[in-house]
Amino acid sequence: MHITPVKTRLFLEGKDLIAFIKEHIPKIAEKSLLIVTSKIVALAEKRTAVVANQKEKERLIRSESQFALQTKYVWLTIRDNLVMASAGIDESNGNGKLILLPKNSFKTAIFIRKKIKKIYGLKKFGVIITDSRLLPLRNGTVGVATGYAGFRGLKSYKGKSDLFGRKFLYQRVDVADSLATAAVFCMGEGNESIPLAMITSAPVAWRERIKETELEIDPREDVYQPLFAKIRRLGPKRFKKV
């Protein structure tokens, strides 16, 4: 698998995203994945806001969330069935504006894929719209796919054998978020000006249609749910600073 970050000029709010992609990526090979940051998708959709104070920002976060809980550091929220800080609303690289997440990243990924396939004459081609998120008990951000199209986002090993012939009962791989993390790492989080990337030779299962909910888990069935229900009992001494 090979990742090629694409450095671009500044993308401005309300501009044509497809024209922007064509300008900076003159050729796209068959069986490639186009990575697009959610930030420029949101700018193309004019998903920005200006708030006068913290109260207005909090109202905006709540209105953008399926669930919102204020904590010591950020608002912990669920949006698009993903756990994230502050509903994905970002102040960085906004030039004074708050940048929201795209209205519907899956729908936009399908739209971009359809347009790019036609322009470049592609058959097997995928799109991933990315953002950043924090993982529980881990420092630093990783990438996440807020939406994708053209390939299966979940790979199952159920029923297959491991190295010693033992059958997997449940093992699955989150393909979409794994690819998003690899791409986001290469694209950067600061002033790199790399909102696009291409991935080639990725071992994905190409699909014309996908199931948008294939990566979702009911919060009540999440494997970590019992841990978070009890973690307060452990106390701060169990988490010593190194």
Assign 169 a pLDDT band (cuts: 50, 70, 90).
Answer: confident
- How far lies 173's CA from each of 18, 39, 51, in Å? 31, 26, 40
Q: What is the pLDDT of residue 232?
A: 60
| Beta strand extents in the chain (DSSP E only) | 2-6, 32-37, 48-49, 67-70, 75-79, 82-85, 98-99, 125-134, 141-149, 154-156, 172-174, 196-200
What is the mean predicted confidence (pLDDT) over 199-227?
A: 92
The rounded distance, in Å, linking the Cα atoms of 6 and 194 is: 6
Assign 233 a pLDDT band (cuts: 50, 70, 90).
Answer: low
- Would the pLDDT of 114 be above 50? yes
- Of residues 232 and 4, the one with the higher pLDDT is 4
Name residue, tokens 């490639």.
32
Q: What are phi and psi of 72, to 5 degrees?
A: -60, -40
What value does the mean pLDDT of the chain take? 92
Domains located in the chain, CATH noted: 2-45+103-238 (3.30.1330.100), 48-100 (no CATH)
Assign 173 a pLDDT band (cuts: 50, 70, 90).
Answer: very high
- Would the pLDDT of 226 be above 80? yes
- Would the pLDDT of 239 be above 50? no
pTM score, two decimals? Answer: 0.92
